[in-house]
Amino acid sequence: MKEYKIGLLKGDGIGPEIVESAVRVLEAVGKKRNIGFTFTPYLIGGAAIDECGKPLPEETVEGCLNSDSVLLGAVGGPKWDTLPGHLRPEKALLGIRAAMGLFTNLRPAKLYPALKGACPLREDIAQNGFDIMIVRELTGGIYFGERGYREGKYGEEAYDTESYSRMEIERIVRVAFETARKRRKKLTSIDKANVLETSRLWRKIVHEIAAEYPDVEVADMLVDNAAMQLVRNPSQFDVIVTSNMFGDILSDEASQITGSIGMLPSASLDSGKRGLYEPIHGSAPDIARQNKANPIATVLSAAMMLLYAFDEKEASEDIVSAVDKVLEAGYRTADLGESKYPLLGTKEMTDKIIENL
């Protein structure tokens, strides 16, 4: 029997509940497919601040680096919102991404036929469906550039800088072309090249690398236009590649048109097989510990882990199809709106998914 060591970063708010759901689903699918998992929790975010005064303890980084893969819930909450930037829970997320070298962030946004009714777009648009893979650069750009406070001409000033090296752009753009090659062979590179120098370098490199992928159709799109196109006609997109901040913003938009932000999983990958898997949504402190959170994004993140980290294609598909079946049957959590059955809590939705494995 294969045995995988999974590091658990439960984090804050709904983090512990949804991670618990994904662990239960992994254990169930492991039983069916004869795969063993050992789970080791590590502190991160506000939970780590409360316990040891910093959002990303060294033991956490070390534990993640020594795991076969890492599953993360969410970090942050109002309790820690007034701390200085370097002590905020969010800083831990950036820190672990950097420490593990996770420069690729895959965020698949697809409209489940069963959720067409929950899609906020006009019916004729929802009817066309969509299946988009957002490839977000995750360890560069303005998230990691120089920032600070200074005295300026008009008094107090703050600044953040966006910078991208050729190396950082090339490696993420290659991942995106490879991803497109395995899908519908259409890549949209999103930038702000009419204003930003980093975007002009980005665009130049996309065009250079495009020559190596003549089978992939590639187009540039300005980010403001992309935000509009995502709600006007999302079915035009296959793979999107974009910078750290544009990817953050566009993936939230893409998630909402799937019906709920509670649906989107993600995989953050290094250049090899190690990665960190997490839902794209946040810690939702307002619904924490009430058994209300939708566990699907985290459960689907576990399915991505099985596929990308462990090559356990069948087990991964088991989970995806169990989620499909549960949604098709009409079961919903509160964020997914209308349901023919009483709304399910986190735990009951997890039970349903396990029943359908």
Beta strand pairing call for 267-269 and 275-277 = antiparallel
Q: Which of 221, 256, 224 is nearest to 238 (CA)?
A: 221
Instruction: State in angstroms the smallest separation of the CB of 133 from ligand IPM.
Output: 16
Active site residue 91: no
Work out what residue 89 binds among ligand IPM, Mg ion, none; the CB cut-off runs from 5 to 8 Å by kind. Answer: none
Q: HSE of 357 in the Cβ direction (CA atoms, 13 Å)?
A: 24
Which of 10, 192, 292, 352 is an active site residue? 192
Active site residue 220: no
Please state, as a whole number, how many other Cβ atoms lie within 10 Å of the Cβ of residue 140.
Answer: 22
The one segment of 1-9, 85-93, 182-190, 244-252 that binds Mg ion by CB under 5 A: 244-252
Work out what residue 27 binds among ligand IPM, Mg ion, none; the CB cut-off runs from 5 to 8 Å by kind. Answer: none
SS3 for 118-175, per residue?
HCCCCHHHHHCCCEEEEEEECCCHHHCCCEEEEEECCEEEEEECCCCCHHHHHHHHHH
How far is Cα of residue 104 from the mean position of the Cα atoms in its chain?
10
Work out what residue 93 binds among ligand IPM, Mg ion, none; the CB cut-off runs from 5 to 8 Å by kind. Answer: ligand IPM
Instruction: State in angstroms the smallest separation of the CB of 27 from Mg ion.
Output: 29
Query: Quick one: 110 or 200, whose CB is closer to ligand IPM?
Result: 110
Query: Quick one: 90 or 270, whose CB is closer to ligand IPM?
Result: 90
Q: Which of 12, 68, 72 is nearest to 45 (CA)?
A: 12
Active site residue 143: yes
Work out what residue 90 binds among ligand IPM, Mg ion, none; the CB cut-off runs from 5 to 8 Å by kind. Answer: ligand IPM
Give residues in contact with ligand IPM (CB under 6 A): 76, 90, 93, 248, 280
Distance CA 222, CA 310 (A): 36
Q: Which of 214, 344, 216 is nearest to 291 (CA)?
A: 344
Instruction: State in angstroms the smallest separation of the CB of 152 from ligand IPM.
Output: 26
Q: Which of 232, 231, 243, 235 is nearest to 201 (CA)?
A: 243
How far is Cα of residue 343 from the mean position of the Cα atoms in its chain?
25
Instruction: State in angstroms the smallest separation of the CB of 259 from ligand IPM.
Output: 18
Q: What DSSP string runs through 250-267?
A: HHHHHHHTTT-GGG---E
Active site residue 224: yes
Query: Quick one: 163 or 321, whose CB is closer to ligand IPM?
Result: 163
The CA-atom distances, in angstroms, between 97 and each of 70, 90, 120, 244 are 11, 11, 32, 12
Work out what residue 15 binds among ligand IPM, Mg ion, none; the CB cut-off runs from 5 to 8 Å by kind. Answer: none
Which of 12, 68, 191, 248 is an active site residue? 248
How far is Cα of residue 192 from the mean position of the Cα atoms in its chain?
22
Instruction: State in angstroms the smallest separation of the CB of 138 from ligand IPM.
Output: 7
Which of 4, 42, 143, 331 is an active site residue? 143
Query: Quick one: 105 or 350, whose CB is closer to Mg ion?
Result: 105
Active site residue 182: no
Instruction: State in angstroms the smallest separation of the CB of 355 from ligand IPM.
Output: 30
Query: Residues 248, 278, 312, 318: which binds Mg ion (CB under 5 A)?
Result: 248
Which of 54, 110, 185, 252 is an active site residue? 252
Distance CA 46, CA 75 (A): 7
With binding defined as CB under 5 A, does residue 278 bind Mg ion? no
For the annotated catalytic residues, the residue numbers are 143, 192, 224, 248, 252
Provide the binding-site residues for Mg ion, judged by CB under 5 A: 248
